[in-house]
């Protein structure tokens, strides 16, 4: 065999071997025996840490726990027709399960209960000058429980307002609240307040201005009638004869002016009317502004209202009723919770905000609603997140966090930035 052919065959064998070595990693391991089941389970249980873990094929569904249904508890308060302030409180459970509740009736400052229905007791909450009557009840399904109180210490013949609320067993979350005002038998409704200042003299001033105006008109008419005969006599040369005027030039006649006794009353009447209109307009604006309140002064919409606990007060869109105010004891900071009823009296949905609700201290400083604490008090629900439906009503706790040991003396509640709002004095 020639040498060149032997070299070609050797080179072809080398190339063939190199090709086989290159293709070996790609070929399947046909001759490798299958691992036992235990080995496979062990291999699956201990994956290679260098390899990323594969996600599960089907994620496990998560079920959201639905909140428990709110017990159907309602409260109604009615005054008794007695010589002393008395109230009848009806607590209804319209649900199909029994409900544990705490009923509290707030008493005005200086008023105490002389008669309390079975199971109730009179307490004085910490940090409050007023007292309250408390019952712990277990309401059977579809039942009505009637409670009653008789009060003493109020001024004779003066109306007394005492609201009542039904709370959950913890005594903080309100189910419902109601209020009523007792009036003495035969007492007439309080009339409008007597006007003060220049308003008290406004009728007399108006009558005087009209009298001056009438005298001025009468004097002017009399003066005109007296002037006409004199002017006619000067224009004629004799009775019954009319001659042409002489051609000689006549000096221009001086225009006669009305006498001073006519001009002065008319001018005084006009001036009095102008000043009175300006004073009335200014007084109306000052009254609407109500300079006695800090944030309410300068409000543009609606008229502000003030009252005590349990008094429904209306502003531009909402009717607010503060039923209760309590503060927890604390040294550096304390939380005060107000139980407030809100009713939307407009035909539209209305939004309101926690930062617009304020608690005022004795020194004039104020704090807004602690929205996080208010959300916790309402079982995690944000009461300001959604607008209130038209004609709807709700009772909710509002929490204010106050630095120091001082308690708020007044609450200011409002539906919008430009509403006048309401002010409630709290004991």
Q: What is the CATH number of the domain that holds 378?
A: 2.60.40.1240
pLDDT below 50 — which residues of the chain? 1, 3, 26-45, 52, 54-68, 189-200, 242-243, 286, 288-299
Of 166, 182, 198, the last residue of a domain is: 182
Whether 37 is covered by a domain: the verdict is no
Residue-wise over 197-230: b if at least 16 C-beta within 10 A, else e? eeeeeeeeeeeebeebbeebeebbeeeeeeeeee
Whether 206 is covered by a domain: the verdict is no
Give the pLDDT score at 356. Answer: 93
Instruction: Return all residues near 257 (Cβ < 8 A) that are at least 6 apart.
Output: none
Global confidence as pTM: 0.61
Of 182, 214, 230, the last residue of a domain is: 182
Whether 68 is covered by a domain: the verdict is no
Give the pLDDT score at 227. Answer: 59
Question: Torsion over CA of 178, 182, 187 and 192, rounded to 10 degrees?
Answer: -50
Q: Provide the domain limits for residue 352.
A: 305-425
Write phi, then psi, for 322 (nearest 5 degrees): -95, 115
- Total tally of structural domains belonging to the chain: 2
Residue 68 CA: distances (Å) to CA of 65, 71, 91, 95, 250: 9, 9, 21, 13, 108
Residue 26: Cβ within 10 Å count: 6
Whether 52 is covered by a domain: the verdict is no
Give the pLDDT score at 250. Answer: 63
Q: How far is CA 140 from its chain centroid? A: 35
Residue 280: Cβ within 10 Å count: 13
Whether 374 is covered by a domain: the verdict is yes
Residue 84 is part of a domain; what is its CATH number?
Answer: 2.60.40.290
Q: Are 177 and 311 a contacting pair, CB within 8 Å? A: no
In sequence order, the β-bridge partners of residue 110 are none
Whether 403 is covered by a domain: the verdict is yes
Of 149, 182, 215, the last residue of a domain is: 182
Give the pLDDT score at 249. Answer: 61
Whether 91 is covered by a domain: the verdict is yes
Whether 350 is covered by a domain: the verdict is yes
């Amino acid at each position: 065999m020639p040498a060149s052919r032997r070299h070609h065959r050797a080179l072809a064998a080398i190339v063939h071997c190199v090709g086989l070595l290159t293709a070996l990693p790609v070929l399947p391991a046909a001759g490798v025996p299958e691992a036992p089941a235990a080995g496979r389970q062990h291999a699956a249980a201990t994956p290679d840490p260098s390899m990323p873990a594969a996600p599960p094929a089907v994620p496990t569904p998560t079920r959201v726990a639905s909140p428990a249904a709110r017990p159907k508890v309602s409260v109604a308060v009615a005054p008794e027709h007695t010589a002393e302030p008395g109230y009848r409180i009806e607590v209804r459970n319209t649900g199909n399960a029994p409900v544990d509740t705490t009923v509290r009736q707030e008493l005005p400052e200086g008023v105490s209960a002389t008669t309390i229905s079975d199971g109730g007791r009179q307490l004085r909450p910490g940090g409050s000058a007023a007292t309250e009557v408390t019952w712990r009840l277990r309401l059977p399904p579809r039942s009505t429980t009637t409670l009653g109180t008789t009060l003493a210490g109020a001024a004779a013949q003066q109306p007394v307002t005492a609201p009542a609320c039904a709370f959950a067993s913890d005594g903080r979350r309100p189910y419902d609240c109601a209020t009523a005002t007792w009036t003495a038998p035969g007492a007439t409704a309080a009339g409008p307040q007597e006007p003060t200042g220049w308003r008290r003299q406004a009728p007399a001033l108006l009558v005087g201005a009209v009298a001056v105006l009438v005298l001025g008109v009468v004097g002017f008419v009399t003066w005109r009638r007296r002037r006409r005969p004199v002017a006619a006599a000067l224009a004629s040369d004799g009775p019954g004869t009319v001659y042409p005027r002489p051609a000689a030039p006549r000096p221009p006649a001086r225009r006669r002016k009305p006498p001073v006794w006519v001009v002065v009353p008319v001018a005084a009447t006009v001036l009095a009317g102008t000043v009175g209109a300006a004073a009335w307009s200014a007084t109306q604006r000052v009254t609407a502004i109500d300079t006695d309140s800090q944030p309410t002064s300068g409000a543009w919409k609606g008229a502000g209202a003030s009252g005590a606990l349990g008094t429904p007060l209306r502003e531009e869109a909402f009717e607010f009723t503060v039923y209760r105010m309590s503060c927890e004891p604390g040294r550096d900071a304390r939380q005060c919770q107000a139980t407030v009823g809100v009713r939307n009296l407009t035909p539209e949905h209305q939004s309101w905000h926690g930062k617009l609700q304020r608690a005022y201290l004795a020194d004039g400083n104020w704090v807004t609603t602690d929205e996080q604490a208010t959300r916790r008090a309402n079982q995690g629900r944000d009461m300001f997140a959604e607008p209130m439906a038209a004609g709807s009503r709700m009772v909710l706790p509002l929490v204010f966090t106050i630095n120091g040991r001082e308690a708020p003396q007044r609450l200011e509640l409002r539906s919008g930035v430009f509403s006048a709002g309401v002010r409630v004095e709290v004991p």
